């Protein structure tokens, strides 16, 4: 399975920064075409920077872009929300849903995440459904139980043709902290997730399971070559074209 290397730019940078970052990524990819043979590359800018990224990527369809969230609703009185159909109108092909920062700071429940993922699918986008335990939950030995419950609650009812959801395993304690899960823990959790997908998605073997949490060029090779790790969701290190593409290069 081709790996997916996804950059989550979060709420960072100005329009000028976004233009410079995407231009830098494109320039580097133009001189290093092998990267795109090894993996699919996705960037998820803030909503307002999506049109600038779309403009820059025009003519470079191998590079994909998406959003960091979408509304759980189709349209209507949801002030401040952005619907999945609006994102699709803007040519997004992926949407991150249920990131731990949204679960934590916006109080998003599994049911809300499932509604968002369903909206993404309905609008022909691939949802990247994030799951992961807190440090306290891991210390109490509850990591698998928590992730299992999140998977059960956050994956919407799928049609047989919906084989293209992506799961991102992101241990909350590893996000933006510089701490990464050990390769053994990642292998164990990704294997567990693959097993739990049975019965929840039409084709578990086709689902890409990404690892996220302080992935950087120094640890990417090891993490990305772990069994059942089908790519990475990268926050901090995706804000530099150099480190983002160094991670992508490690996906071989």
* Positions that interact with ligand PEP (CB under 6 A): 8, 170, 175-176, 212-215, 233-237
58 Cβ contact partners less than 8 Å away, ≥ 6 residues apart? none
Pick 176 or 252: Cβ nearer ligand PEP: 176
C-beta neighbour count of 185 within 10 angstroms: 15
To the query of whether residue 170 is one of the catalytic residues in this protein, the response is yes
Catalytic residue (one of 49, 137, 170, 190): 170
Pick 162 or 209: Cβ nearer ligand PEP: 209
DSSP SS3 for 62: coil
Pick 84 or 247: Cβ nearer ligand PEP: 247
To the query of whether residue 137 is one of the catalytic residues in this protein, the response is no
CB of 75 to ligand PEP, least distance (A): 28
Pick 162 or 213: Cβ nearer ligand PEP: 213
CB of 229 to ligand PEP, least distance (A): 13
The closest alpha carbon to 215, from 168, 176, 252, 166, belongs to: 176
Catalytic residue (one of 49, 99, 162, 190): 99
Q: Token pair for residue 41?
A: 């590359």
CB of 93 to ligand PEP, least distance (A): 18
143 Cβ contact partners less than 8 Å away, ≥ 6 residues apart? 133, 137, 171, 189
CA-CA distance, 128 to 232, in Å (whole number)? 11
CA-CA distance, 217 to 81, in Å (whole number)? 34
CB of 157 to ligand PEP, least distance (A): 26
Give the active site residues.
99, 170
């Amino acid at each position: 399975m081709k790996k997916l290397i996804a950059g989550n730019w979060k709420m960072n940078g100005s329009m000028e920064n976004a233009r410079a970052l995407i231009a830098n990524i494109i320039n580097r990819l133009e001189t290093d075409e092998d990267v795109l043979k090894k993996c699919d590359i996705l960037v998820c800018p803030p909503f307002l920077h999506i049109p600038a990224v779309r403009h820059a990527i025009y003519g470079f369809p191998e590079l994909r872009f998406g959003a960091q969230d979408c509304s759980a609703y189709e349209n209507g009185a949801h002030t401040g929300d952005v619907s999945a159909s609006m994102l699709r109108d803007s040519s997004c092909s992926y949407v991150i849903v249920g990131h731990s920062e949204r679960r934590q700071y916006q109080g998003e429940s599994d049911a809300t995440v499932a509604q968002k993922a369903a909206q993404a699918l309905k609008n022909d986008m691939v949802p990247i459904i994030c799951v992961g335990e807190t440090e306290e939950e891991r210390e109490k030995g509850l990591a698998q139980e928590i992730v299992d419950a999140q998977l059960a609650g956050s994956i919407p009812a799928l049609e047989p043709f919906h084989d293209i959801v992506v799961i991102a395993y992101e241990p909350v304690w590893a996000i933006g902290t510089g701490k990464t899960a050990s390769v053994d823990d990642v292998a164990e959790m990704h294997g567990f997730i693959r097993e739990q997908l049975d019965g929840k998605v039409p084709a578990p073997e086709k689902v890409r399971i990404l690892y996220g949490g302080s992935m950087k060029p120094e640890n990417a090779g090891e993490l990305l070559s772990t069994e059942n790790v089908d790519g990475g969701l990268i926050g901090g290190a995706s804000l530099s074209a150099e480190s983002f593409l160094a991670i992508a290069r490690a996906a071989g």
